[in-house]
Structure 1
Amino acid sequence: MDTLAGVRTVVAVVENSSFTIAADKLGISKGLVSKHVSQIEAAHNIRLFNRNSRKISLTDAGANYYQHARKLLEYYEQMLDSVVTQQNTPSGKLRISSPIAFGEHVMTRLLPKFSQLYPQIKLELILQNQPVDMLKDGIDIRIKSGKVSDSNMIARPVCKWPLIVCASAQYLADKTLPTTPQQLAEHQCVLDKHLDDNTNWLFGCKDGGDITVAVNGVLASNNPQAVVNMIKAGGGIGLAARESVAAELQSGELIELLSDYQSKVLEIYLIYPHRQHIAQKTQCFIDFILSQDFQ
């Protein structure tokens, strides 16, 4: 007979493509994972997985079982959340993934406010610019620049995150300030590798036209804060989120360039699984973020 533990185990194995990782995520031994899967296979005379020494793959029966198992777990979570909602305030652990710069300068400011409203919800903020598999990584909410094409996810627009062109006073001390985007080709630029087309910077003009400039530089990083640090150290001209360098602009350590042109603007989205039921803790966080004024 299938048990809820067995169903959870099969789902975890599928979503992590590994008995070992599933065991770690569930907090049980690998042997117990194998036992749960074997019991389900024996009870129904089916094979859920094809196994060899290097990888596992779903059988047709396994794929069918997984689809129904996921729905069963969602209905179970809905039942628990409905019962808890009647008696308690929202609670549980909420894992939120965010791009590094946006997380450091925006999410870290908002999460304490949310925590004051919902003190029984435990928050974990994961900062990363790499692609995220929400199911495998156990992420409840993802903050991301740009939408996702996955039909299993819902993307809600949060705000626009403008980047500016800037350089340190140190770098500009003995150089001619660029007054047009094309003049960036004459300068060393610090490249942010996590941006699309990081060597081709797009600018919007007041007349409505666009200009794309190929830039060059010997310094690059996939971390926005590292890019800012290299700009501050005189490494060249770079793109940085305005909010992340607000203090440096005010102090004069960094100087904004080409302010008559609109450089890249990142569109920030809140992403969560497309399900009939959303956990109360998740819905509270969605409503909170969408109610914020990011201007």
Structure 2
Amino acid sequence: MSSLNRLLYFNCVVETGSISEASRIFDVQPSSISRQLAVLEQELGVRLLNKTTRNTGLTEAGQKYYEYSQRIVSEFDEAKKAVNDLHEKPKGKLKISMTVGFGESIVLPLMPKFMLLYPDIDIKLELTERVVDLVEENIDVAIRSGRLVDSTMIAKHLSLNNFFLCASPQYLANKGTPQSPEELIDHQCIRYSYSRWQDWYLMAKQRTKLAIKNTISVNSVNGQKQLVLNGGGLTLMPLWAVRKELKDGSLVHVMPKYTFSPYEELSSTYAIYLKREMVSVKTRVFLDFLLENIVETELKQS
């Protein structure tokens, strides 16, 4: 008789309060369960159960052992399910919420490839800057920037939000190229109007909020990109949004020796999902796909 079966018997007796009920559930003789419980107590050198003619209760040692025994059996069940899931075809509805900029720039171009790999997953995408409630709105994965605050969530790092100050060659030819952060006050600056991205900071030993006077404000990352590409001014954009344009020369990295950010701290983008005993197969394959392909895309473009 395996040690795991003894734990299963022990847990069942604790939960039903009866050896006879446990014997009915496992379809074995009560004497067999009693024998295995006695072996378990002998192995541990302590009494786990107080048995009377009417019921069975836990000793103090039994209570402590039961807490661990529950976890061991749960981990075993989880391991079995994880192995079985390898042979299970991912399917069902997968609801994903993501920020507009990262979604349009990074995630949406990858989705046709994901759909070819997993045709039985029914995908629903929501692009929004709104902070969604994963439980209330039945979201499987949310893609967001910033820190993970809620301890009931798990976050997988997708990409650094390395913000670059950039402008078009046309704008710089007309207005000149600023050489220091203080000169930005004399330039047209394009801000992203999301509340956390409105201010610009110089990220040095002491973070400095920059004075910016002449501004245009727009509520989408792609709107920012169109404005800056067409000579609308200087803007702060994450590298993942402008990597191609910087590489082909349609945008110029301005003051590359300085580090800028629209936050008071450097940030990243994460895939967030609920902390559960078992993550569904459809969610797991999407997360794995996202991590693999975002890294691959960044390596190709670097």
- Pick the TM interval, shorter chain: 0.5 to 0.7
What's 1:231 paired with? 228
Aligned residue pair count: 213
What's 1:270 paired with? 271
Counterpart residue identity of residue 286, structure 1: L
What's 2:284 paired with? 283
The Cα shift of 1:234 comes to 2.4
- Structure having the higher strand fraction is 1
TM-score, normalised by the number of residues in structure 1: 0.63
Counterpart residue identity of residue 279, structure 1: S
What's 2:117 paired with? 117
- Asked if structure 2 preserves the Cα contact closer than 8 Å seen for 1:169 and 1:255, the reply is yes
Corresponding residue SS for 2:223: helix
Write out per-residue CA displacement over residues 53-99 of structure 1, whole angstroms, 9 at most, x where no aligned residue.
xxxxxxxxxxxxxxxxxxxxxxxxx9xx99x9597411011111111
The Cα shift of 1:211 comes to 4.0
Counterpart residue identity of residue 194, structure 1: Y
What's 2:72 paired with? none
Counterpart residue identity of residue 203, structure 2: G
- 1:131 to 2:128 alignment: no
- 1:217 to 2:214 alignment: yes
What's 1:252 paired with? 249
What's 2:42 paired with? none
- Asked if structure 2 preserves the Cα contact closer than 8 Å seen for 1:202 and 1:212, the reply is yes
Write out per-residue CA displacement over residues 232-263 of structure 1, whole angstroms, 9 at most, x where no aligned residue.
23222111222323343344332220111122
The Cα shift of 1:210 comes to 4.3
The Cα shift of 1:119 comes to 2.3
What's 1:191 paired with? 191
Alignment of 1:168-207 (within 5 A): 168-194=168-194, 196=196, 198-199=198-199, 201-205=200-204
Rg (Cα) greater in structure = 2
Counterpart residue identity of residue 156, structure 1: K
Write out per-residue CA displacement over residues 14-73 of structure 1, whole angstroms, 9 at most, x where no aligned residue.
xxxxxxxxxxxxxxxxxxxxxxxxxxxxxxxxxxxxxxxxxxxxxxxxxxxxxxxxxxxx
What's 2:240 paired with? 243
Partner Cα distance (1:215, 1:238) in 2? 11
Sequence identity percentage: 32
Structure 2 unaligned segments of length 5 or more: list them. 1-77
Corresponding residue SS for 1:111: helix
Corresponding residue SS for 2:136: helix
- Asked if structure 2 preserves the Cα contact closer than 8 Å seen for 1:147 and 1:155, the reply is no
